[in-house]
Amino acid sequence: MNSIIPRRTAIRNLLIIAGGAMVLPACFRESGKLTIKLNNFSITTEQESLLEMLCETLIPETDNPGAKSLKLHLFVLKMVDDCYKEEDQQIFIKGLEKFGHFAKENAGKPFSEASGLEREALLKSIQLDKEEDSTIKKFYKITKSKTIQGYLNSEYVMTNLVKYELVPGRYNGYFPV
């Protein structure tokens, strides 16, 4: 039997196969893979989600987007990876590990399962800690400063919240000198 396939059917089948071939690699994505490539140190996905929750606690979502929607934890990781010395990076990693254990000990549950008030109380207890050389305190200081820096330099803040004026600005003849 000599059956001829209509041209439209052949083209449609070819497009379906090509589309499936393009979508197929997305089905084999590694589930435990980090969302950002780091050159100088490595963290686990659990540590990344812990850092994400910590940044979200520092800048929560209100009418404005919070740290989680702006992905500020990735900014923190990239800044620590690119701009800090190796000793500070090791302190950051050790502090991140200790912070997870510290949260379980003090709150009785993981940081991600704690309520917003419990998270804030936990962070206040870190700030009030008398120990100056604490790795958790140094980790928290780095994370807090980079989260705030990332928020203030984010596209959302720079386009929607900051009033931009060209360099000389407007003339104010009554400005006291």
Number of structural domains (the chain) is 1
**pLDDT tens column, 2-18:** 678 888 998 998 888 88
26 pLDDT exceeds 80? no
Range of the domain at 103: 45-161
Quick check: is 170 in a domain? no
Quick check: is 109 in a domain? yes
Quick check: is 176 in a domain? no
Quick check: is 151 in a domain? yes
**pLDDT tens column, 103-129:** 888 888 888 888 888 889 888 888 887
DSSP secondary structure string for all residues of the chain = ------HHHHHHHHHHHHHHHHHHHHHT--TT--SS--SS----HHHHHHHHHHHHHHS--SSS--HHHHTHHHHHHHHHHHHS-HHHHHHHHHHHHHHHHHHHHHHSS-GGGS-HHHHHHHHHHHHT---SS-HHHHHHHHHHHHHHHHHHTSHHIIIIISPP--TT----TT---
Quick check: is 154 in a domain? yes
pLDDT at 1: 54
Quick check: is 169 in a domain? no
Quick check: is 17 in a domain? no
61 pLDDT exceeds 80? yes
pLDDT at 133: 62
Quick check: is 68 in a domain? yes
The per-residue pLDDT of the chain, averaged, comes to 86
**pLDDT tens column, 156-166:** 998 888 887 77
